[in-house]
């Protein structure tokens, strides 16, 4: 079981989750993806799990709550009058999925401490209750080191283990900060760089997506990503 968290919103967390799921499913594993809370999406609109199914193929998906306002789950629940989530409900759903699958991915909303309820329950509580490894999805450029370090420090102080960091949207023309961060992000995270996925990957066909996932994710996930080789090619403009 893996808990997928971002350093913020819009960092490529859903695409990264889909990429890990796609590789695992292609390798013959039974994969489940749990999205505890989807915000900013109406009941009749496709959410993040629709993207996961479109890109990853035959995987099980489960969404526990959906709120129309693009806010934290706790704030969105409060505004809508819909029930909030608690870590116990999420953990039970994840455990139920895990009994019938080889890999279960839990995708949070935003960052590690985004609130699910008025008591301040967060994805960190879910990860702790499940004893799950945490994957941090980070931005490529300026400002990402502080956000990544804060996320990793909070995770460690909560008794969690950060398995690695993945850059969720690598720009076509990386600047100096992005290139430098290839070396500095693992230091900030206190964990290895386990992948770099290209920006715009969500528009790829399923075959293109799988190929990009294989090239952009570590052998730890069944991919072929080599951080040293990638850094050398990126610096050379290849």
Active site residue 35: yes
Q: Is the pLDDT of residue 194 over 70?
A: yes
pLDDT of residue 75: 96
Residue 172 banded pLDDT, cuts 50, 70, 90 = very high
How much of the chain exceeds pLDDT 90, in percent? Answer: 92
Q: What is the mean pLDDT of the chain?
A: 95
Contacts of 43 (CB under 8 A, 6+ apart): 66, 68
- Asked if 186 contacts 193 with a C-beta cutoff of 8 angstroms, the reply is yes
| Number of domains the chain contains | 1
pLDDT tens by residue, 85-97: 988 999 999 999 9
Q: Is the pLDDT of residue 193 over 70?
A: yes
pLDDT tens by residue, 130-159: 999 999 999 999 999 999 999 999 999 999
pLDDT tens by residue, 53-72: 999 999 999 999 999 999 99
- Asked if 48 contacts 38 with a C-beta cutoff of 8 angstroms, the reply is yes
Residue 133: give its domain's CATH number: 3.40.50.300
Contacts of 13 (CB under 8 A, 6+ apart): 4, 5, 6, 107, 108, 137, 168
Q: What is the pTM of this model?
A: 0.95
Q: Say which residue, 81 or 237, is predicted with more confidence.
A: 81
Write out the DSSP string of 165-192.
EEEEEE-SS--HHHHHHHHHHHHHHTS-
E-state strands within 50-201? 60-67, 103-107, 133-138, 161-170, 193-198
State the residue range of the domain holding 83. Answer: 2-235
pLDDT of residue 236: 82
- Average pLDDT value for residue range 199-213: 95
Helix/strand/coil for 49: helix
Distance from C-alpha of 178 to C-alpha of 193, rounded to nearest angstrom: 13
Q: Is the pLDDT of residue 238 over 90?
A: no
Neighbour count for residue 40 (Cβ, 10 Å): 15
- Average pLDDT value for residue range 188-211: 96
Residue 102 banded pLDDT, cuts 50, 70, 90 = very high
pLDDT of residue 237: 76
In the set 13, 35, 157, 238, the catalytic residue is 35
């Amino acid at each position: 079981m893996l808990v997928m968290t971002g350093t913020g919103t819009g960092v490529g967390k859903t695409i990264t989750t889909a990429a890990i799921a796609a590789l695992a499913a292609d390798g013959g594993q039974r994969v489940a993806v749990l999205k505890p809370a989807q915000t900013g999406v109406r009941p009749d609109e496709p959410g993040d799990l629709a993207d996961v199914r479109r890109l990853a193929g035959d995987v099980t998906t489960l969404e526990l709550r959906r709120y129309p306002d693009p806010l934290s789950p706790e704030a969105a629940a409060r505004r809508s009058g819909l029930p909030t989530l608690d870590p116990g409900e999420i953990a039970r759903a994840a455990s139920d999925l895990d009994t019938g699958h080889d890999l279960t991915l839990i995708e949070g909303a935003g960052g590690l401490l985004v609130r699910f309820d008025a008591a301040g329950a967060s994805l960190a509580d879910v990860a702790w209750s499940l004893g799950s490894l945490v994957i941090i999805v980070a931005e490529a450029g300026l400002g990402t080191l502080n956000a990544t370090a804060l996320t990793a420090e909070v995770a460690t102080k909560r008794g969690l283990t950060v398995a690695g960091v993945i850059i969720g949207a690598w720009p076509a023309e990386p600047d100096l900060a992005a290139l430098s961060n290839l070396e500095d992000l693992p230091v900030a995270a206190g964990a290895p760089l386990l992948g770099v996925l290209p920006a715009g990957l969500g528009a790829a066909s399923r075959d293109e997506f799988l190929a990009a996932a294989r090239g952009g994710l570590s052998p730890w996930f069944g991919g072929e990503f080599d951080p040293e080789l990638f850094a050398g090619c990126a610096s050379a403009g290849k």
